[in-house]
Amino acid sequence: MTARVQLLATLPARSPVKVLYLLPDLFRASGGIARYARLITRALTELPNTCELDVLVLHDEHGRIPEPDYWRPGPHRYSPYGGDRLAFTRDLGLRLVGTRYDLVLSGHVNLSPLPYFLDPAGSRKHLVTFVYGIDAMVRLPWYRRVSLRQSSRVISISQFTADRTARANLVPKAKIRVLHNCLDPVFTEPQATSGPCGGTTCFGPNAILTVSRLERGDAYKGHRAILRAMPMVLRAVPDARYYIVGQGELAQELEAEARAAGIGNHVVFLGRVSDRELAACYQKARVFAMPSKAEGFGFVFLEAMAYGCPVLAGKGDAAPEVLGWGEAGVLVDPDDTEEIANGLARLLTDASLRERLASGGRTRAKELFGYTLFKSRLESYLFGEIR
């Protein structure tokens, strides 16, 4: 008898299994956590005759409907609350009282205290909390630490995040499982017929690309480090240009810093782009660079790898776990400007290195970060191990 069948045999004699999934964002946001949540949602709604999913999303707009790419038909409910925390908490409490859920999934550590304290007897047995990076790698407030430690399972997006979370919040390592992010199953490689700036021809032959939000909380991702390195890069590769995709309050500050450093003509801010335009960016860029200091996984690394775009990343966070310690990218000290500059110059000028890293990246993306493996591991962690 498989582990999953053993678990289902211990659950109440009904089908399907009832799962409550709590999220800050699902379809509204474009960040990595929301994208990961969409993959979880798709996987759960695809499980045949297994899962009855009830999804409560705090920030998704009222009246929004699920996106069909990530929401398969079935006995599922999607409830967006438009940021109304009171209504979200009230309805969560009513559901916990009125429905006997077999699993309660907290899609963010900030939400995990709600089911834990609203329904201490029912939610503790099968409470699963997902962690991603800086949300859980620091010492959390006591109530989040308690709910995290008492979760039946903690599912981490990377081993790096798992280790940091366990150490900072004294979470038993035996409770933690790693479920790496994966390539989106609707992810394809379209023909680059259009793109930012009225077409991808605006990308020069030595284009460096970064894709990330530009909020203050994302300053650790390394945009400033690349700007500091650019004068040295330009001495080796005079036509190099740095393209930044993303929007947020840091954009104006970074633009001002580029102008002050005299490299304004070599830095291009593209803002937010469509998925098709983003695909064109990956295809046209010679190097993807994000020397982050605290990346919990780095979904953009995975996208760059799938498009065969060599990567430059920091070596002190989860990036080596994704890139295979040099198999798909060059790893640098994110605080060493000269090392970053030398790494970028080498990637821009060494075609054989780029070819090797591009091949390694495509292989890793396909073999280690596919959706089928992601879905299988999720099913095992949720239905094959929770007791």
For residue 190, being part of any structural domain is answered with: no
Which residues on neighbouring strands pair with residue 208, listed in sequence order?
242, 287
Please tell me the total number of residues recorded for the chain in this structure: 387
Give 28 or 217, the one with higher predicted confidence: 28
| Residue 120 sits in the same domain as residue 144 | yes
Residue 215 is predicted with a pLDDT of: 86
For residue 287, being part of any structural domain is answered with: yes
Confidence band for 257, pLDDT divided at 50, 70 and 90: very high
Q: Hey, what amino acid is at 235?
A: R
Mean pLDDT score across all residues of the chain = 89
Q: Is the pLDDT of residue 8 over 60?
A: no
Distance CA 105, CA 345 (A): 45
Q: How far is CA 298 from CA 97, 213, 261, 293, in A?
A: 38, 12, 28, 11
* DSSP secondary structure string for all residues of 38-89: HHHHHHHHHSTTTEEEEEEESSSPTT----TTT--SSS-EEEE-TT-HHHHH
Preceding amide of 16 cis, omega within 30: yes
Residue 326 is predicted with a pLDDT of: 85
Residues 6+ apart with CB under 8 A from 112: 106, 127, 129, 144, 147, 148, 151
Q: What percent of the chain has pLDDT over 70?
A: 89
For 108, phi then psi, to 5°, come to -160, 140
For residue 316, being part of any structural domain is answered with: yes
What is the token pair recorded at 346? 């080498």
Q: Write the CATH number for 378.
A: 3.40.50.2000
| Residue 110 sits in the same domain as residue 165 | yes
Q: Is the pLDDT of residue 228 over 70?
A: yes
Look up residue 126 and give its DSSP letter.
Answer: T
Q: What is the pLDDT of residues 177-222, one digit of tens each?
A: 999 999 988 865 544 444 555 444 478 889 999 999 888 888 899 9
Helix (H, G, I), strand (E, B) or coil at 339: helix
Residue whose C-alpha is closest to residue 340's, from 231, 178, 198: 231
Domain that holds residue 170: 3-182+370-383
Q: Is the pLDDT of residue 253 over 60?
A: yes
Q: Indicate the number of domains in the chain.
A: 2
Q: Which of 47-61, 114-128, 230-244 has the highest average model confidence (pLDDT)?
A: 230-244
| Residue 178 sits in the same domain as residue 201 | no
For residue 191, being part of any structural domain is answered with: no
For residue 19, being part of any structural domain is answered with: yes
| Residue 176 sits in the same domain as residue 223 | no
Q: Is the pLDDT of residue 161 over 50?
A: yes
For residue 188, being part of any structural domain is answered with: no
Burial class for 190, CB neighbours closer than 10 Å (0-12, 13-18, 19+): exposed
Residue 191 is predicted with a pLDDT of: 43
Q: What is the pLDDT of residues 333-364, one digit of tens each?
A: 999 999 999 999 999 999 999 999 999 999 99
Q: What is the pLDDT of residues 288-337, one digit of tens each?
A: 999 999 899 999 999 999 999 999 999 999 999 999 988 999 999 999 99
Residue whose C-alpha is closest to residue 106's, from 85, 80, 128, 84: 128
For residue 249, being part of any structural domain is answered with: yes
Q: How far is CA 361 from CA 253, 327, 357, in A?
A: 33, 7, 6
Which residues on neighbouring strands pair with residue 289, listed in sequence order?
312
Residue whose C-alpha is closest to residue 16's, from 26, 24, 8, 28: 8
Indicate the angle between helix axes 142-150 and 159-169, nearest 10 degrees.
Answer: 120
| Residue 167 sits in the same domain as residue 216 | no
Residue 125 is predicted with a pLDDT of: 64
Q: What is the pLDDT of residues 119-157, one digit of tens each?
A: 876 666 689 999 999 999 999 999 999 999 999 999 999
Q: Is the pLDDT of residue 287 over 80?
A: yes
